[in-house]
Structure 1
Amino acid sequence: MSAVLELDDVHAGYGPFRALFGVNLSVAPGEAVAVVGSNGVGKTTLARVASGLVRPTSGRVVVDGNDFTRARTFQFARAGVAHAPEGRSTFASLTVEENLELSIRRVRGNSGVRAGLDEAYEMFPALAERRQQLAGTLSGGQQRMLAMVRVLVDAPKLLVADELSLGLAPLIVEQVYEMLGRVRETGTALLVIEQHVSHALKLCDRVVLLDRGSVAWAGPASEAGEHVQSQLGVPAH
């Protein structure tokens, strides 16, 4: 079975600035892979390459066995790659339900809205309790939850989660990772870009440690502890 995503010797950057150097990475169907590293090592650039937001300057991006190196962002989305960026990514002046309706209607049409809302509220009951609340008045964690549901209505094969816990209180980080665990249970593969190493290691099967735009180490999450501590200076538990 083809990997959902493969990055093969990928180099990428912005203008004269180079952020990734020869990165190799793969995510199998249903697998969860964490990409960890300190600030400025290329994690977000990797996430953007993986979802088609940034084209590599060299190397290959393969989605479900097909070469997507020069593909556009909408083609990644059609192939089942969803990107949940850092930040809140919601329409602040609309209610929770209106945010969800917009996303569901775009994918499933008017006839699919009711069933889509039911699915969203079943997965995330906290949103059901706030369905008439303006999105801009939700807590940071609740807004991340809403942003996540908006990208999940497509039932993606792969969710690229870019530092969803950034700036959140520890209790909310726990909730975000519970949410990612539920997403994984649906069969969606995960590429988790993260600085909260302990949470990422508990959730994911494999870990890729980035340093200055290159892969410093990659392997099973169960073996990542000493490498993470050596590279980042933080315990992996």
Structure 2
Amino acid sequence: MAEKWEILDLLYRAAGGSLTAPLGARVGEAMAGLGIDRAQGRRAQRAVYAPDGYIIAAQGQIVTARTIERAKATRQESALLEAVGLTAPAALQSQAGALAVSTGDRLKTTTTAASDRIQASTANIWERVKQTSNELQGKSAQALEQQRIKRALGRPTTRVILDRDDRVILNMGELISYKAIAMARDADVLDLLLDSVYTETPQFSIEELRAPAKGTAAL
């Protein structure tokens, strides 16, 4: 009977309909697939990138249906949810709540016993999702941060970066280095640094491109 309940069917289809995929992967895909629509209409608090560096949502952008389609196509649903201030469990819970209302309207003519069984099944599924959600969110956030760090290295800053004692970590226009990343992390201003990266491609002459000193790996 469980296979006939709508919420189980949605989770199964959102996970690709595979019974052989690892449980963690299936749960993660289901969470993203069911909760991603809750991001629509919200403002992205930080930029979201595809694995190839393509911008899915810029910082400050209102998420649209097209934004959600790009996130689904690049499997960045979790990153988009986090960018608008939603956790995967919260988005799924909201989606499950909406589904429960719709299901409740259709089940008004059924018995109390049937309603109790549906509620018990939903609670059981939710417990299984919660067991893996924290780990999945942590890995997603860490991977996104590493991608942002890689894109920032070697690029100039667009503002002065200070530590908590107002000491200058980087002046505006100075290049971001591994040392600067480490110092910003220690000073709890890494997000500020990563949000202040100059991403345009400057136009230089050959002479301007040449640094005053050769690098250690230069020929």
Structure possessing the higher radius of gyration over alpha carbons = 2
Structure number with the higher strand fraction is 1
TM-score with structure 1 setting the length: 0.24
- The answer to which structure, 1 or 2, has the higher relative contact order (CA under 8 A, 6+ apart) is 1
TM-score with structure 2 setting the length: 0.26
Structure number with the higher helix fraction is 2
